Structure 1
Amino acid sequence: MVQPRPWIEGYVRAWNSNDPDDIAALFTENAVYYAEPYSSPWQGRDAIISEWLARQDKPGEATFEWHPVCVTDDASVIKGVTTYPDKIYSNLWVIRFAPDGRCREFTEWWMLHDVK
């Protein structure tokens, strides 16, 4: 069973570094990444790196708290909260893992909090 913690720690590290090698380490060569559940996915590790860097956050700009909702042999559902200085998002991630612990399919739902 692939545990999600090492992968999520790597994701947060890549989020803060924007280093293409950190991003690449997370995904299989043919991985797909759905930045929104019903959008066209980013297909393949090179496309994931490119799209990630086109939307990158500044290092340390956000914090991410999370906990698992469901963990199976090859998939995890994660509930998270991403906090920026001026906005907060609730996140739901579905991560499908390859046997080596890298992600082969990632889908995220993100919802902006109504913060006044």
Structure 2
Amino acid sequence: MDGSRSRVLDWIDAYEQAWRTPGTDGLADVFTADARYAQGPYAQPVVGLPAIAVMWEAERASAAEPFTMTNEIVAVDGDTAVVRVEVHYAEPEPHEYRDLWVIRLASDGRCREFEEWPISPPNQGLMSD
């Protein structure tokens, strides 16, 4: 894999599109079959597409939930990227997160390892474990 920023941006776009699309069929375009997805730096990873699909649906209110997402690539080294992400949800109750994502891409551009560090503002009461 060439590790280029454009490949990372393509992956981020695919991730956001999958989040905004009903169902979980699109996850196979974003993650490898044996991908590992950790929802926090100390969280036990969810492993494999079927398990990621269950987690994915449990975590979102719906594919239609209104939000905006911005990102900034912090670093790319080989197949690994670190990205700063901000997500602002409008409903049912406005809230936001600032995330750091550690993404390890397979040679085909799909993610094989994903670790997120989600942080919410202290006054929001949603601080991640």
Matched, 1:46 2:54: no
Aligned mates of 1:56, 1:105 — CA distance in 2: 20
8 Å contact from structure 2 (residues 33, 49) kept in 1: yes
Q: How many residues align?
A: 116
Gaps of 5+ in 1: none
- 1:67: which partner in 2? 72
Q: What's the TM-score once normalised by structure 1's chain length?
A: 0.92
Equivalent position to 1:7, from 4, 11, 34: 11
Counterpart code for 1:35: Q
Superposition pairs for residues 15-34 of structure 1, below 5 Å? 15-34=19-38
Task: Flag as ranges the 4+ runs of structure 1 deviating above 6 A.
Answer: none
Counting aligned pairs with the same residue, the percent is 35
CA RMSD in angstroms, aligned pairs only = 1.5
Query: Which of 87, 91, 95 is the aligned partner of 2:95?
Result: 87
Please report how far the alpha carbon of residue 60 of structure 1 lies from its aligned counterpart in structure 2 after TM superposition.
4.3
- CA displacement at 1:75 relative to structure 2: 0.9
Partner Cα separation in structure 2 for residue 8 and residue 63 of structure 1 = 13
2:113 to 101, 105, 110: 105
Q: In structure 1, what is the Cα distance between the partners aligned to 2:83 and 2:59?
A: 21
Residue 77 of structure 1: CA displacement?
A: 0.3
How many Å separate the matches in 2 of 1:39 and 1:31?
A: 15
For structure 2, list consecutive stretches of 5 or more residues without a partner in the other structure: 125-129
Equivalent-residue separation in structure 1 for 2:120 and 2:21 (angstroms): 24
Amino acid at match of 2:31: F
In structure 2, C-alpha distance between the alignment counterparts of 1:74 and 1:97, rounded to whole Å? 5
- What is the CA-CA distance between 1:33 and the residue it aligns to? 0.1
Q: Distance in 1 between matches of 2:54 and 2:28?
A: 10
Helix, strand or coil at the partner of 1:36: coil
